[in-house]
Homo-oligomer: A and B are copies of this chain.
Amino acid sequence: MLAEIITIGDEILIGQIVDTNSAIIARELNRIGVSVYQMTSVQDDRAHILKALAEAGSRVQLVIITGGLGPTKDDITKHTLCEFLGDTLVEDPQVLQHIEDLFRKYISTPISDLNRKQALLPSKATVLHNAYGTAPGMWMEWKGRVFISLPGVQFEMKQLLLDKVIPKISATFERPYIVHKTIVTYGLGESAIAERISEWEDQLPAFVKLAYLPNLGKVRLRLTAKGKSRELLSDAIEAAAKQLYALIGDIIHGEEEEDTIETVLGRLLTRKKLSLSTAESFTGGRIAGLLTAIPGSSAYFMGGIVSYATEAKMNVLHVPQELIKRHSVVSGEVAVAMAENVRKIMKTDFAVATTGNAGPEKGDSDADIGIVFIAVAGPEHSFAERFQMGNHRERIVQKSVHKALEMLHKEILKF
């Protein structure tokens, strides 16, 4: 079963916002066996929207549209959908009631006629209730196809998708099964792996696809099988994976749920009832930010110190000036002292620390751009590792944040 996603809005086409909705929708559709054939972004332009709707409807059974449902004149999706479907707009009293309630509760300005117009919907549309906003979702049928229109605001769209759209699609369409398996490898590049498994790859059954997903020093190999018998698919994927272990078992570091490293780490800390703190230099609070983005992280994350300036490392983290002088501020010794001291200050079981040079200039040390030390301190011992993370500032930070979480995870697993 195939679907397409159309996102509408001038702000996408001029690059003012990144279209994150398409990826969120695609991920959820994939999970229930619906493949996305194409994603298309078009301007708030009547003729172009009509063309995009007709083309998508001619290719696939399900079209999900986001954006253009706001109250202002540049939002024309609803009128254009009516034109496309040969329908007219009528006021939905329940939606109107909901809009009035939202204004009373959260919005300080008085409700306007334009807001009330958000309760006008195509007469044949099934309304999907939007708890977080004034623009409801709509489920419409046209020549045996289903068109779903959702608001563009991400958190409203996502809630509607998970609560209403995905369950209704699951109940409405017969779908094939999709089975994924992702195998994580470290230590070899994409092409070096490809050479080692080239023959195996050529002999995969046609319904099994392999993708290479290189990111942050690891390469994930994703196997995907699609078809009617779940058992057959699982067997094929398991057989393929087994062969893969035989071929490159030396670089395989396990299999991956769709979890992020911070989620996996969080679960581990919760299960082992351990606490964590951070001392960050050039990563500037990004490790703490990732950790605290997880609901429930207060169970294990006590806090962190962002010691961006060398003075802050001395004054707040009590790293001896002497140590900095002897080894430089970008050194394993300083990283270890940062981790050990924040662990004591925050009274936690484990701590992680970063110091390095992300560029573009050299900063308070002679370390080359990309040189990074990451230290882990625990109840039994502490250690630091040195890395060369390349020459691109944002990339150096991202890779280091990821590596720090990985080192913590590995160490706490052993504990």
| Residues of A participating in the B interface, judged by any CB pair closer than 8 Å | 10-20, 22-30, 35-43, 48, 52, 70-74, 106-107, 109-110, 112-115, 132, 155, 187-192, 194-195, 198, 201, 209-214, 222, 224, 278, 280, 282-289, 291-293, 295-298, 301-309, 311-312, 315-316, 345-347, 359-361, 363-364, 388, 390-395, 397
Q: Which residues of B contact A72 (CB under 8 A)?
A: 190-191, 194, 212
> Who on chain B is nearest to A389 by CB?
B106
Chain B residues positioned under 8 Å from A155 (CB to CB): 392, 394-395
B-chain residues with CB within 8 Å of residue A23 when the two chains form the complex: 12, 15-19
Interface hub of A113, A211, A394 (most chain B Cβ within 10 A): A211
B293 with A397: CB separation less than 8 A? yes
Query: A18–B209 Cα gap in the complex (Å)?
Result: 21
Number of copies: 2
Contact A13 B39 (CB under 8 A): yes
**Distance A41 CA – B20 CA, assembled complex (angstroms):** 13
Name 17 interchain pairs, CB-CB below 8 A, sorted by A.
A12-B39, A13-B35, A19-B22, A19-B23, A38-B52, A70-B190, A74-B209, A106-B388, A106-B390, A112-B195, A114-B192, A280-B285, A284-B288, A292-B306, A296-B361, A302-B308, A303-B306
Rounded to whole Å, the gap between the CB of A28 and the closest CB of chain B is 7
Interchain nearest-CB distance for A176 vs B (Å): 14
Rounded to whole Å, the gap between the CB of A349 and the closest CB of chain B is 13
A284 lies within 8 A of B295 (CB):
no
Q: Are A109 and B192 in contact (CB under 8 A)?
A: yes
Closest to A18 in B: B23
A11 cross-chain contacts in B, Cβ below 8 A: 211, 213
Q: Are B37 and A43 in contact (CB under 8 A)?
A: yes
A35 to B12, CA, bound (A): 11
Please give the distance in Å from A245's CB to the nearest CB on chain B: 19
Q: Given A15-B26, A74-B211, A288-B285, A363 and B298 touching (CB < 8 A)?
A: yes
A41 contact from B38, B187, B306, B363, Cβ within 8 A:
B38
Shortest CB-to-CB span from A53 to chain B, Å, is 13
The 10 tightest CB contacts between A and B, nearest first, are A284-B292, A285-B285, A15-B27, A285-B288, A15-B26, A303-B312, A114-B191, A71-B191, A39-B41, A304-B306
Indicate if the CB atoms of A195 and B308 lie closer than 8 Å.
Answer: no
Q: Choose one: B37, B212, B301; the contact of A308 (CB below 8 Å).
A: B301
Question: Given A212-B72, A316-B303, do A285 and B289 touch, yes or no (CB 8 Å)?
Answer: yes
- Scoring A48, A191, A296 by chain B CB atoms within 10 A of each residue's CB, the highest score goes to A191
Chain B CB within 10 A, most for which of A37, A72, A286, A312: A72
- State A23–B71 Cα separation when bound (angstroms): 24
Nearest B residue to A45 via CB reads: B37
Q: Is B308 a contact of A306 with CB atoms below 8 Å? A: no
In the assembled complex, the CB of A193 is this many whole angstroms from the nearest CB of chain B, namely 8
Q: Closest CB-CB distance, A153 to chain B, in whole Å?
A: 9
- Please state if B13 and A295 are interface contacts (CB–CB under 8 Å): no
Complex interface: chain B residues within 8 A of A308 (CB): 288, 292, 297-298, 301-304
**A40 CB to closest chain B CB, in angstroms?**
5
CA distance A271 to B261 in the complex (A): 39
- Residue numbers in B under 8 Å from A359 (CB-CB): 295
A112→B191 contact, CB < 8 A? yes
Most chain B CB neighbours (cut-off 10 Å) among A70, A192, A287:
A192
Chain B residues near A307 (CB, 8 Å)? Answer: 303
Bound-state Cα–Cα, A363 to B295, Å: 11
Check A74/B210 contact, CB under 8 A, given A40-B40, A188-B109: yes
List residues of chain B with CB within 8 A of the CB of A192: 109-110, 112, 114
Neighbouring B residues of A188 by C-beta, 8 Å: 109
Q: B14–A295 contact, CB under 8 A?
A: no
